[in-house]
């Protein structure tokens, strides 16, 4: 494992972090269809003011995950297998192109590498909270390095954190994820655009398959 001084990592702005927390809860069925959520309740749960929660509600409403009720918070809408597939297929397309851009010769990928090695260290120390942040930072640094602000904005609005499936521990998921990140980093270091594109797509589609384990065996969907 390489030695380095990472410094402060960049994470998503508050509204997108809140949206990511709620999106993950909806996709993983911790928040059920028809369940009502309020600005005050979510703000208290996440530890932010009501403003980023209100903005997060707008992001999720545009994504078809909730319906905002004026002065009454929001209600969670129905999610099914098609919803999950569409979400991850779009992420796969965007993230694959982002990593291909980041792998072009002459691109500085040192920050991506630093974050990856910090994530390895966090995982070895069984620090799941730090690993989750570094997982997000790894993807974000690829978006930053790609240099396409529109793509970065779209991906930020779609982030949902670790895509945990049924009967999988966070440690097991993180171990598989970090191995895939290592393969992506190797493609970046080789400046191999096609390999980077393929490995990122496989990474996102595998995440989709993990999340789908919560849906495909359920007769209600």
pLDDT tens, position by position, 75-128:
999 788 888 899 999 999 999 999 999 999 999 999 999 999 999 999 999 887
Residue 23 makes CB contacts below 8 A (sequence gap 6+) with: 60, 63, 65, 158, 159, 160, 161
Q: Is there a single domain that holds both residue 171 and residue 153? A: yes
Task: Identify the pLDDT of residue 221.
Answer: 46
Any domain includes 188: yes
Task: Identify the pLDDT of residue 164.
Answer: 67
85 versus 6: the higher-pLDDT residue is 85
Task: Identify the pLDDT of residue 219.
Answer: 45
Q: Is there a single domain that holds both residue 133 and residue 191? A: yes
Task: Identify the pLDDT of residue 118.
Answer: 95
Any domain includes 2: no
**Which of 35-39, 62-66, 179-183 is least confident?**
62-66
Q: Give the mean pLDDT of 187-203.
A: 97
Residue where a domain terminates, one of 76, 99, 116:
76
220 versus 191: the higher-pLDDT residue is 191
Q: Is the pLDDT of residue 28 over 70?
A: yes
- Contacts of 143-152 with C-beta under 8 Å, sequence gap 24+, read 143/95, 143/98, 144/10, 144/111, 145/101, 145/102, 145/107, 145/108, 145/109, 145/111, 145/112, 146/97, 146/98, 146/99, 146/101, 146/102, 147/101, 148/98, 148/101, 151/94, 151/97, 151/98, 152/98
**What domain count does the chain have?**
2
Q: Is there a single domain that holds both residue 65 and residue 98? A: no
Q: Is the pLDDT of residue 1 over 50?
A: no
Q: Is there a single domain that holds both residue 178 and residue 134? A: yes
Any domain includes 59: yes
Q: Is there a single domain that holds both residue 163 and residue 95? A: yes
Count of Cβ atoms closer than 10 Å to residue 5 Cβ: 6
Q: Give the confidence band of 9 by pLDDT, cuts at 50, 70, 90.
A: low
Q: Is there a single domain that holds both residue 127 and residue 189? A: yes
d(CA 95, CA 101): 10
Query: What's the pLDDT tens digit per position in 163-178?
Result: 766 667 778 888 899 9
Q: Give the mean pLDDT of 134-158.
A: 94
Q: Which domain holds residue 152?
A: 81-214
Task: Identify the pLDDT of residue 7.
Answer: 57
- The verdict on pTM exceeding 0.75 is yes
Residue where a domain terminates, one of 57, 76, 95:
76
Residue where a domain terminates, one of 53, 76, 99:
76
Task: Identify the pLDDT of residue 216.
Answer: 65
Task: Identify the pLDDT of residue 214.
Answer: 76
d(CA 59, CA 115): 27
Q: Considering only CA atoms, which of 212, 210, 197, 140 is closest in space to residue 170?
A: 210
Q: Give the mean pLDDT of 40-49.
A: 89
Any domain includes 169: yes
Mean pLDDT of the chain: 88
Any domain includes 130: yes
Any domain includes 142: yes
Any domain includes 6: no
Give the domain CATH number at 67: 1.10.10.10
218 versus 85: the higher-pLDDT residue is 85
Q: Is there a single domain that holds both residue 115 and residue 165? A: yes
Q: Is there a single domain that holds both residue 107 and residue 44? A: no
Q: Considering only CA atoms, which of 120, 137, 136, 124 is closest in space to residue 8?
A: 137
Q: Is there a single domain that holds both residue 85 and residue 51? A: no
d(CA 199, CA 202): 5
Q: Give the confidence band of 129 by pLDDT, cuts at 50, 70, 90.
A: confident
Any domain includes 52: yes
Q: Is there a single domain that holds both residue 140 and residue 201? A: yes
Give the domain CATH number at 129: 1.20.120.530
118 versus 70: the higher-pLDDT residue is 118
Helix (H) or strand (E) segment spanning residue 53: helix 50-62
Q: Is there a single domain that holds both residue 34 and residue 138? A: no
Q: Is there a single domain that holds both residue 71 and residue 138? A: no
């Amino acid at each position: 494992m390489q030695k380095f001084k990472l410094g402060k990592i960049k994470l998503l702005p508050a509204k997108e972090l809140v949206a990511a927390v709620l999106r993950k809860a909806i996709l993983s069925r911790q928040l059920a269809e028809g369940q009502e959520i309020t600005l005050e309740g979510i703000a208290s749960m996440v530890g932010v003011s009501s403003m980023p929660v209100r903005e997060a509600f707008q992001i999720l409403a545009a994504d078809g995950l909730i319906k905002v009720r004026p002065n009454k918070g929001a209600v969670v809408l129905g999610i099914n297998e098609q919803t999950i597939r569409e979400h991850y297929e779009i992420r796969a397309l965007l993230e694959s192109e982002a990593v291909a851009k980041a792998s072009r010769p002459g691109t500085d990928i040192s920050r991506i590498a630093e974050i990856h090695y910090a994530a390895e260290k966090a995982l070895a120390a069984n620090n799941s909270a730090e690993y989750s942040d570094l997982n997000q930072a790894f993807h974000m640094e690829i978006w930053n390095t790609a240099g396409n602000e529109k793509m970065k904005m779209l991906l930020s609005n779609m982030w949902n954190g670790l895509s945990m499936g049924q009967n999988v521990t966070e440690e097991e998921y993180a171990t598989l994820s970090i191995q895939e990140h290592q393969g992506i980093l190797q493609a970046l270091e080789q400046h191999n655009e096609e390999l980077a594109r393929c490995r990122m797509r496989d990474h996102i589609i595998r995440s989709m398959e993990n999340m789908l384990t919560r849906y495909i065996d359920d007769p209600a969907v």
